[in-house]
Amino acid sequence: VPELPEVEVTRRKIEHALIGRTVTVVTTTPNSYFFITPPDTLERLLPGQSATRLERLGKYLVASFDSGDRLLLHLGMTGQLFVHGASSVRLLSATGGGSLTPEGQLAAFEADEHTHLQLAFRDGGPRVLFRDVRKFGKVQLLRPGEAATRLEKLGVDALAATAGDLLRATRGRRLVIKTLLLDQSVLAGVGNIYADEALFLAGVRPTRRAARVTRNDADRIVTALQQVLRRSIDTGGASINDYVQPDGEDGTYQDERRVYGRAGEPCPNCRTPILRRVIGQRSSHYCRRCQH
Ligand SMILES: [Zn+2]
């Protein structure tokens, strides 16, 4: 599931394929819950526009156009935003359903029924494709001055958060710290992988009541969180399931995970087997000896 690092890596790599290029043709799949703005509206309004900026806000990407329109993109659980010509087993395996050819022999991916948005450009260069097998991703076009309710609900970006921001959000809350960290209105951008990794590094158990997080804990959690997020950005993000970079490359952060998805494996600090427990309908991974 793409979280802050994967979305930031996507932003950095797709930026060059979007900015300064004039959209000529928009191709979509039939209307579905993937589209907050109906596909025919996107097909009508986007051509002729040219993106001037691409920002990341939490797990959202926001492209600003010269007309003042903004295009909001969310990768959901299985979203893949990439440049035509990219090839990856992650793009092909979900469609072909068959044998994977050795890397390097893979043909470039061609748009399929899961490719919900395709942007072609006046310069005739590579198209930009947004594919999402499970369709939990989102696309919304905001006209100039139109309120972006989804963005207004976001808390401070996790990379910019302070221990004070986290501590304030914990006061008087009955929920556990893990659930609080996943709340996008508290810290925007954090998801399951990085919450588990940060809590491990901070020595805080995911089941700890948020109200019992001390100033010192909040310091350690925010420091650890930003450390894992930055490290993941540097390694291209975590390619665990569907996530691919816009050029088809895999990230490698998954190789550095200490606890996430490692239930039963020895804790890297004390060798106690890592536990997996469902908290707030999400699996959490932790060491019962190192985290209190
Ligand atoms: Zn341990």
The 3 state secondary structure assigned to the chain is CCCHHHHHHHHHHHHHHHECCEEEEEEECCCCCCECCCHHHHHHHCCCCEEEEEEEECCEEEEEECCCCEEEEECCCCEEEEECCCCCHHHHHHHHCCCCCCCCCCCCCCCCCCEEEEEEECCCCCCEEEEECCCCCEEEEECCCCCCHHHHCCCEECCCCCHHHHHHHHCCCCCEHHHHHHCCCCEECCCHHHHHHHHHHHCCCCCCEHHHCCHHHHHHHHHHHHHHHHHHHHCCCCCCCCCCCCCCCCCCHHHHCCCCCCCCCECCCCCCECEEEEECCEEEEECCCCCC
CA 183 to ligand 1 center in whole angstroms = 26
Kindly indicate the confidence band of residue 107, based on its pLDDT and cuts at 50, 70 and 90: low
For residue range 229-259, what is the model confidence (pLDDT) as tens digits? 999 999 999 998 889 899 999 999 999 999 9
Cβ pair 275, 287 in contact under 8 A: yes
Residue 213 has pLDDT above 90, yes or no: yes
Residue 201 has pLDDT above 60, yes or no: yes
Span 267-271, mean pLDDT? Answer: 98
CA 271 to ligand 1 center in whole angstroms = 6
For residue range 141-177, what is the model confidence (pLDDT) as tens digits? 999 999 999 999 999 999 999 999 999 999 988 999 9
Active-site residue flag, 43: no
Span 124-136, mean pLDDT? Answer: 95
CA 280 to ligand 1 center in whole angstroms = 23
- The predicted structure's pLDDT at residue 109: 84
Residue 178 has pLDDT above 90, yes or no: yes
CA 2 to ligand 1 center in whole angstroms = 27
- The predicted structure's pLDDT at residue 91: 82
Residue 60 has pLDDT above 80, yes or no: yes
Question: Mean pLDDT of all residues in the chain?
Answer: 93
Residue 100 has pLDDT above 60, yes or no: no
CA 291 to ligand 1 center in whole angstroms = 7
Span 91-109, mean pLDDT? Answer: 55
Residue 133 has pLDDT above 80, yes or no: yes
CA 173 to ligand 1 center in whole angstroms = 27
Choosing from 59, 70, 257, 262, the catalytic residue is 59
Active-site residue flag, 268: no
Residue 206 has pLDDT above 80, yes or no: yes
How many C-beta atoms lie closer than 10 Å to residue 262's C-beta?
18
Residue with tokens 């109906």: 38
Residue 104 has pLDDT above 70, yes or no: no
Active-site residue flag, 3: yes
For residue range 75-99, what is the model confidence (pLDDT) as tens digits? 999 999 999 988 887 886 554 444 4
- The predicted structure's pLDDT at residue 268: 98
Choosing from 2, 39, 206, 246, the catalytic residue is 2
CA 4 to ligand 1 center in whole angstroms = 26
Amino acid at 149: T
Active-site residue flag, 2: yes
Residue 105 has pLDDT above 50, yes or no: no
Residue with tokens 């948005």: 117
- The predicted structure's pLDDT at residue 85: 87
CA 273 to ligand 1 center in whole angstroms = 8
Choosing from 3, 6, 8, 197, the catalytic residue is 3
pTM: 0.94
- In 3D space, the residue among 163, 195, 196 whose CA is nearest the CA of residue 181 turns out to be 195
- The predicted structure's pLDDT at residue 17: 95
Choosing from 135, 230, 277, 282, the catalytic residue is 282
Span 64-78, mean pLDDT? Answer: 97
Q: What residues are paired with 83 via a beta bridge? A: 128
- The predicted structure's pLDDT at residue 240: 85
Residue 67 has pLDDT above 70, yes or no: yes
